[in-house]
Chains A and B, each alone.
Chain A
Amino acid sequence: DAGVIQSPRHEVTEMGQEVTLRCKPISGHDYLFWYRQTMMRGLELLIYFNNNVPIDDSGMPEDRFSAKMPNASFSTLKIQPSEPRDSAVYFCASSPFTGSGANVLTFGAGSRLTVL
């Protein structure tokens, strides 16, 4: 398996523009997560899906952020309009559910977003 695939790897945009980050999870994984990493706040969970259904979006910072998972092999995180404080690395991760508690998250390489 190719692992979790994220695109783009790097995105530089201007304030006010729409940003769309994409993720392809590992085939067969039931769960998909979006995390944001910044120096100040560390790794924060934004939202996660189970079988394509959003389960908890309490970490989504504002209405400017939205996430979708139209099918088991694709998810998007959209920021509209973007602001400089959204600059961060955004990680997508996926996980199986084994029932044992040892459900390891496999992360993508991340999308580094810079909003000017």
Chain B
Amino acid sequence: AQKITQTQPGMFVQEKEAVTLDCTYDTSDPSYGLFWYKQPSSGEMIFLIYQGSYDQQNATEGRYSLNFQKARKSANLVISASQLGDSAMYFCAMREGNSGYSTLTFGKGTMLLVSP
């Protein structure tokens, strides 16, 4: 079974509108971390936001927020006031466990296109 599922291959949004990118995860570990990365057409992977499984509040970083619904095992990325520069591939990733170190497992990604 996939550990990270991103069901939206592509999303379209108009500039200045908000958009939600979906991510569901699968783990039996009570301790885990969820990450979102952005990959623009230039190819680099840019870290956006992190949510720990024990964090009480949803993470926010500027225009990015993470809608964390633990019971549903979802960690959707919300981008407010979209900009043309937000057009990119977005990846959700998970790290399981909090003792020692474990690696990130990535989803397949969602391509976001922002139109004027």
Contact = CB atoms under 8 A, between A and B. Distances in A.
- Would you call the interface of chain A mostly helix, strand, loop, or mixed? strand
A101 B43 contact: no
B45 A107 contact: yes
Contacts of B109: 42
- Chain B interface size band reads 20 to 34
A61 B43 CA distance: 23
Contact of B98 (A101, A108, A110): A101
B26 to A, nearest CB: 16
B25 to A, nearest CB: 14
A108 B46 CA distance: 9
A102 B103 contact: no
Contact of B50 (A89, A97, A104): A104
A33 B109 CA distance: 20
Contacts of A109: 42-44
A45 interface: yes
A42 B111 CA distance: 13
A103 B95 contact: yes
Contacts of B105: 45
Given A42-B108, A102-B50, A31 B101 contact: yes
Contacts, number: 51
Contact of A110 (B33, B44, B101): B44
What are the 6 tightest A-B residue pairs by CB atom distance, in nearest-first order? Answer: A107-B45, A43-B106, A101-B98, A101-B33, A42-B108, A109-B44
A104 B101 contact: no
Contacts of A102: 33, 50, 52
Interface string B101-116: 1011111110000000
Interface in B60-116: 91, 95, 98, 101, 103-109
B44 A107 contact: yes
